[in-house]
Structure 1
Amino acid sequence: MDVSFALTGKGYVLIAADTTAAHSIIKVKSDEDKIKELSSHLLMAYSGEPGTSSILLYTAFAEYVERNIRLYQIRNLYPLRPSSAASWVRRSLADSLRSRKPYSVNLLLGGYDTTTYTPHLYWMDHLGTLVEVPFAAHGYGSYFSLSLLDRYHDPEAPLEEGLATLRRCIAEVTKRLVVAQPKYKVKIVDKDGVREVEL
């Protein structure tokens, strides 16, 4: 039942994810942060496959990624660029897929490259597929929001316009999805780093 959205704009990446943690049809908590801050200019939204309820497994994978990217920065004295981080995460997911207990996790990885001054957004699924995209969504909300993102997304949009597009997506999911998620957490990554944004 997880829902996550992301989009790029002029010098930023916006990522939104619902805050509900559920096990089957039972809501466990409603303040779960499903967006990990991997470094000062890198964010990752994670969610399970639609129909699965193992939040512990994909939270464990998100923490594994977070710790290893921080370890890389400690060892090398500089952080991974978004494209390198996406490749490393994709490889970890693909290796997990070939193990006895694979992680069923879908990811949206957004980052700001401080060397080229450009935002990057990567879409990954539980099979290890990786693609750089201007906007993305995961979960049941993607069925309703991808057409809106296709219609209203502008890669040169200022932050206010990007937030308005995000609000449209959330309103559409709330209106049309039977088990709509009530709250979302929104984070932005740009030249100033990562911060949370109120809708």
Structure 2
Amino acid sequence: MECVFGLVGNGFALVVADTSAVHSILVHKSNEDKIMILDSHKLLGASGESGDRVQFTEYIQKNVALYQFRNGIPLTTAAAANFTRGELATALRKSPYFVNILLAGYDKETGPSLYYMDYIATLHKIEKGAFGYGSYFSLSMMDRHYHSGMSVEEAIDLVDKCIVEIRSRLVVAPPNFVIKIVDKDGAREYAWRESIKDAAALPPTTA
């Protein structure tokens, strides 16, 4: 029941993801961070098979860092999106990665941007988007309430509306979400929305 969604506002882009690591009917942990800080001004939110998601996002992160190390300049958000799409397309013909990606970034020349990529290497530049079962509800909420040029406060209010809708509508809804934002000051964690704590962090029960 994964859910990753994001949007572009006035001078920023943000990505939101559930934090549940599940397999079949089991929840392994409820604090899995599915949004990678790709570099100083890029975020990569991913959903899909856990192994593919972790392996592919780390591969992209290291190659983006390698490009900057070799050339002395970072990739633009558009260039990073096209590189990622190319790697997905190459893998599709060999051993595909079953991951869906929202790539958000901020560039001095062009400002904030958000790119949508699915596991069959589709690439689109978008203003709002979502993956997973939660997308049925978050996309409808964003269709109704999103407008270009949103402030951070308006965007977070919309994110909270989406989370409430997901939690109330899905039969098995993820309880926790992480919100990350990227703007001229860089990519960073903004907030968590938690309804339960991870089991490992809870004190042991006594008989």
Give 1:160's match in structure 2, choosing from 153, 160, 167: 153
1:15 Cα offset (Å)? 0.5
RMSD of aligned alpha carbons: 0.9
Q: 1:106 aligns with which of 100, 111, 115?
A: 100
TM-score by length of 1: 0.94
- CA offsets, 1:77-97, max 9 Å, x none? 111000000000000000010
For 1:119-198, list aligned pairs within 5 A. Answer: 119-198=112-191
Three-state SS of the structure 1 residue aligned to 2:156 is helix
Distance 1:28 1:164 in 2: 29
Contact 2:37 2:188 in 1 (8 A): no
Please report the TM-score for the alignment, with normalisation by the length of structure 2: 0.91
SS in 1 for 2:174: coil
Unpaired stretches in structure 1, ≥5 consecutive residues: 49-53
Instruction: Deviation per CA, 1:120-178: give whole Å up to 9, x if none.
Output: 00011110000011000000000111111111112211100000011111110001001
Corresponding residue for residue 51 of structure 1: none
Total equivalences in the alignment: 192
- Greater CA radius of gyration, 1 or 2? 2
The question of whether the paired residues in 1 share the 8 Å contact of 2:38 and 2:64 is answered with yes
Structure 2 gaps, min length 5: 194-207
C-alpha contact (below 8 Å) 2:105/2:113 kept by paired residues: yes
Q: Give, in angstroms, the shift of residue 115 of structure 1.
A: 2.5
Spell out structure 1 runs of 4+ moving beyond 2 A: none
CA distance in 2, matches of 1:97, 1:195: 31
Question: In structure 2, what is the Cα distance between the partners aligned to 1:79 and 1:154?
Answer: 30
For the residue of structure 1 that corresponds to 2:73, the secondary structure is coil
The aligned residue for residue 26 of structure 1 is: 26
The residue identity in structure 2 corresponding to 1:20 is: S
